[in-house]
Structure 1
Amino acid sequence: IPGVVGKTEAVQEDSFYNGMLDYPNYTRPAVWDDEEVPEILLSGNDTIIKEWRRRQSVERTLKRRPDIIGRAGIMPYLNYGAYVIEIYNSTLDPKTDNSISEGLKLNLIDTATVCRTYGIERYILIAPNAQQRETIKQTISLLSEEAECKDRPDLKEALNNIKLFGSTQKALAWIEKRSKTDLHKVVVTTKDCKKAVNWLSLKREILLKNYCTVFLFGRECELHSKMIDSANTVLPPISGVKNNLNHLSVRSTIGITLDRFFGQR
C-alpha cells in the first residue's frame, strides 16, 4: 500500500518481491557476540554495497530456495546483461518480395519490442548479404520515423536498440569488447541435440556465475553444426502438448525463451 512504508526500495528489495530471497541485513553495533558486520557495508561506497547485496541475494536463493528461480526475473542480478542474436534468413530478399518486406517489418517491431521489454542489451541481426543489410537498415529507419510521427517513444527506443552485422563472429567480437568479459553463447535449436540442457539448469548457472549471456536464434538452415558445436550451451526446441510439431516462428521462440529467463511472475 503506497505510503505505509517510507522507503519504496525497502519493499522492492524484500524477499519474493522480485522472485528472489532478500540479502542479509545488519544493524548496530558493528560487532555483536563475535559476529562482525562485513567491511563492505561499512565502506560507504554505495556501488560496491549494492553489488554485494545483489550477489548475497543470488547466493542465498540458490542455496535455500533454488525452486523459486524458475519464476524469478534474473536480469537485475546480472552485471553484464544479455544479448540476442538472430541469424537472418539468407535465402530471402525483402527487396524483391513485398510480402517478405511486410514480414520483415513485423519481425523487427515484434522482436525489438520483446527485447526491450525484458531488458536485453542489444538485439543483433546477422545478414551476410550487404544488400540485405542495407534493406534492413532502411526498414528500421522507416519504422523509427513512423514511431516518432505516431508519438511512440517506446517503439523508437526498441528499434534504436537493433544492431546489424555481416557475420556472427563480428557480432560476438563487438559484444566481448563492449562487455569486457568472456561470453557464454547459448544456441536455441530447432531440433533435438545430444548436448542440449534444460533451460532451468542454465538459468541457475547464469545467475551463479554471472555470465554475459548471448542467445543465438535462427532457422535450422542458419544454425549449422559448427555454430552448435562452438556454443557453451545448447537449449532444446521449445515443446508443448504436440511435441512432434515444431513450427514456431523465430520471433515466438525468442519471446518464450526470454520470458523463461527474464520474465517476472
Structure 2
Amino acid sequence: MLDKVYVALIHYPILKKDGTIVSTAVTNFDVHDISRSCKTYNIKKYFLVSNLPAQRKIVERVIDYWVYGHGGEFNPNRKQALEIFEMEHYLEDVIERIEEIEGEKPKIVFTSAKARKNVVTHEKLKDIIRTCKDPILILFGTGWGMPEEIREISDYDLEPIKANSEFNHLSVRAAVAITLDRLIGEN
C-alpha cells in the first residue's frame, strides 16, 4: 500500500571504487533534496544512514537551520519536507524503526546502477507496492554502491534506471526522484 513506503539513503556500509567497505560523506543535498522528493511522493519516512559522528553533526546542523532556524522561516516548504526525515546509525536501526512504526518488518528493495541478473522491473515493483500490505523500504546507495550482503537480505532487487545512453552515472538525488516517479507517480 502506498501509505507504508519508506526510503533510506545508505552512507555505510558502502563500496569504495576498489571494492572495500567505507563510510561516504554526507552532503546537505542528501538531506533536503531527497526529503523534498520523498515528501512529493508521499513517502512515510526518509532515513539517512551514517555511522560517523562528524557526518551526523553536519546533518544535525542542516536540520537545525532548515527546521528550527532562519531557513525554516525563509523557506517553509523545505521545513515541511524535512518533517519526514530521520537519521540512523545503521540499516538495522532503520528496519527496527519501521517495525516500531508499522508493527512488522518491511520488505526491502535494493537499488543499483550496475547491471545484475534476476532483477524486478519498475512496472512489476509498482504493482507490488500498490498491492502489498507489508511496509516497503527502498534502499539507495552512495559511493560505488551498496555491498552484496545488503542485496542478499533484500526481498527485491530493482532494475537499474536505463536511458538511451552509454553513460550511466546519475546523482543519487536524481536516481531517487526518477525511481519514485516510476514506482509511485501518475500512470
Aligned-pair CA distance for 1:220: 5.4
Quick check: which one's strand share is greater? Answer: 2
Gaps of 5+ in 1: 1-77, 95-103
1-structure distance, mates of 2:71, 2:185: 25
Count matched residues: 176
Q: Indicate the residue corresponding to 2:125 in structure 1.
A: 202
Conserved in 1, the CA contact under 8 Å of 2:46 and 2:84? yes
2-structure distance, mates of 1:259, 1:233: 18
Aligned partner of 1:158 among 81, 89, 93: 81
2-structure distance, mates of 1:158, 1:257: 18
1-structure distance, mates of 2:84, 2:169: 27
Q: Indicate the residue corresponding to 1:255 in structure 2.
A: 177
Aligned-pair CA distance for 1:222: 4.5
Task: Tell me if 1:231 matches 2:154.
Answer: yes
1-structure distance, mates of 2:177, 2:102: 23
Task: Tell me if 1:149 matches 2:82.
Answer: no
Aligned-pair CA distance for 1:80: 4.5
1:203-235 per-residue CA deviation (whole Å, 9 max, x = no partner) reads 112223323110000135441000011100011
Conserved in 1, the CA contact under 8 Å of 2:41 and 2:185? yes
Task: Tell me if 1:91 matches 2:24.
Answer: yes
Conserved in 2, the CA contact under 8 Å of 1:80 and 1:211? no
Query: Residue type matched to 1:147 in 2?
Result: G
For residue 245 of structure 1, give the secondary structure of its aligned residue in structure 2.
coil
1:133-165 per-residue CA deviation (whole Å, 9 max, x = no partner) reads 122111211122233221x33211211321011
Provide runs of 4+ in structure 1 moved above 6 Å.
none
| CA RMSD, Structure 1 to Structure 2 (Å) | 1.8
Q: Indicate the residue corresponding to 2:115 in structure 1.
A: 192
Query: Residue type matched to 2:8 in 1?
Result: I
For residue 123 of structure 1, give the secondary structure of its aligned residue in structure 2.
strand
Sequence identity (%): 26
1:171-226 per-residue CA deviation (whole Å, 9 max, x = no partner) reads 11111121112311001112011121111111112223323110000135441000
Larger relative contact order (C-alpha < 8 A, sep ≥ 6)?
A: 2
Q: Indicate the residue corresponding to 1:109 in structure 2.
A: 32
Task: Tell me if 1:211 matches 2:134.
Answer: yes
Aligned partner of 2:102 among 147, 158, 179: 179
2-structure distance, mates of 1:165, 1:194: 30
Conserved in 2, the CA contact under 8 Å of 1:192 and 1:237? yes
Gaps of 5+ in 2: 13-22
Q: Judging changes above 3 Å, is the alpha-carbon distance between structure 1 residues 182 and 106 closer, same or farther for their aligned structure 2 residues? A: closer
Conserved in 2, the CA contact under 8 Å of 1:190 and 1:219? no
Conserved in 1, the CA contact under 8 Å of 2:125 and 2:183? no
1-structure distance, mates of 2:146, 2:76: 33
Query: Residue type matched to 1:116 in 2?
Result: K
Work out which of the two has the higher radius of gyration on C-alpha atoms and give 1 or 2: 1
Aligned-pair CA distance for 1:261: 1.6
